[in-house]
């Protein structure tokens, strides 16, 4: 009798797991992608921060797909079964408090469930897609004042839009009793020329590469470059709701320890073709 109950319980567990997988596949099927064709672009900036130099030509030889939006809390929860974000009542906001390792775990699960290769974009792929054929500071031009229409950053992500002469202050930006800045639902701002939303601001986005401050000065970066082969920090790109316009530029780089989780960064999925 006990053996029968054990067998029945095992069947129920398997059926529940199958239902979860079916539901997760449905979520994954609903994630919108933009197809990015191979091409060349100028990566980095000779007038940016030291780790953005030198500007150099890069060729992306393989097309890929990139999420039209940052991955949302609802999408993460539908696949992984929980929501790690601190602000959980915003299903269309990007999922935050996800480490680089956990973002990789999401991609691995998505790959198993769909039979396709889901992954984080390389830093070169990310900037190529962000620039979308442009050579300006932002994908919409060189005027930082136009960022309001294209992305969330500290001056427009809080309780009220801050004047142009507002001096950035981390504590006032982070605290609700200060400026009340926070991440916003994806897709509310104008897309870049290739149809990708929130490439400037909202949340920094994990890339697959290790970070190297001198990486751009290394040889062999002209074709499908990747970062150093080892390191302690991973690249994040795009700027954030808590930061200023300079850190939202197409070439701006930042780095975080792979195990770190916070409200300022999330990720956008890529798929190999």
Q: How far is 174 from 180, CA to CA, in rounded Å? A: 6
Q: How far is 266 from 247, CA to CA, in rounded Å? A: 16
Q: What is the pTM of this model?
A: 0.93
Matching CATH number, 31-272, of 1.10.8.640, 3.40.50.300, 3.90.1580.10, 3.40.190.10: 3.90.1580.10
| Segment 1-15, tens digit of pLDDT | 456 655 544 444 444
> Which token pair is 7?
């067998």
Report the candidate in 191, 179, 92 with the shortest Cα–Cα distance to residue 151.
191
Helix (H, G, I), strand (E, B) or coil at 197: coil
pLDDT at site 10: 47
Long-range contacts of 102-107 (CB under 8 A, 24+ apart): 102/261, 103/206, 103/267, 105/80, 106/71, 106/76, 106/79, 106/80, 106/267, 106/269, 107/269
Cβ-contact 84, 254 below 8 angstroms: no
211 pLDDT band, cuts 50/70/90, is very high
DSSP, res 176: T
Q: SS3 helix, strand, coil % of the chain, rounded to 5? A: 30, 15, 55
Find the range with the poorest average confidence among 2-11, 132-141, 151-160, 173-182.
2-11
pLDDT at site 147: 98
| Segment 223-253, tens digit of pLDDT | 999 999 999 999 999 999 999 999 999 999 9
Name residue 33's beta-bridge partners: 67
| End-to-end Cα spacing for the chain | 52
- Domains of the chain, by residue range, sit at 31-272
């Amino acid at each position: 009798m006990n053996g029968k109950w054990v067998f029945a319980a095992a069947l129920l567990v398997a059926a529940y797991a199958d239902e979860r997988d079916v539901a997760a596949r449905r979520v994954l099927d609903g994630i919108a992608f933009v197809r990015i064709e191979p091409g060349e672009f100028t990566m980095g900036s000779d007038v940016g921060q030291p780790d953005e130099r030198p500007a150099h030509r890069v060729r992306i030889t393989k097309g890929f797909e990139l999420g039209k939006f940052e991955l949302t809390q609802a999408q993460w929860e539908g696949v992984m079964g929980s929501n790690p974000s601190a602000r959980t009542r915003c299903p269309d906001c990007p999922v935050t408090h996800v480490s680089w390792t956990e973002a990789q775990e999401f991609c691995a699960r998505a790959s198993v469930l769909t039979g396709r290769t889901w992954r984080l974009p390389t830093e070169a792929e990310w900037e190529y897609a962000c620039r979308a054929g442009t050579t300006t500071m932002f994908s919409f031009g060189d005027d930082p004042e136009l960022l309001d229409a294209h992305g969330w950053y500290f001056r427009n992500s809080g309780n009220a839009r801050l004047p142009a002469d507002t001096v950035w202050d981390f504590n006032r930006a982070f605290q609700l009793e200060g400026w009340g800045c926070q991440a916003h639902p994806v897709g509310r701002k104008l897309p870049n020329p290739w149809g990708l939303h929130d490439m400037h601001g909202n949340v920094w986005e994990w890339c697959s590469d290790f970070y190297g401050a001198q990486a751009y000065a290394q040889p062999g970066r002209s074709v499908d470059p990747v970062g150093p082969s080892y390191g302690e920090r991973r690249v994040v790109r795009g700027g954030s709701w808590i930061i200023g316009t300079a850190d939202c530029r197409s070439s701006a780089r930042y780095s975080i320890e792979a195990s770190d989780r916070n409200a300022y960064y999330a990720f956008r999925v890529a798929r190999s073709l």
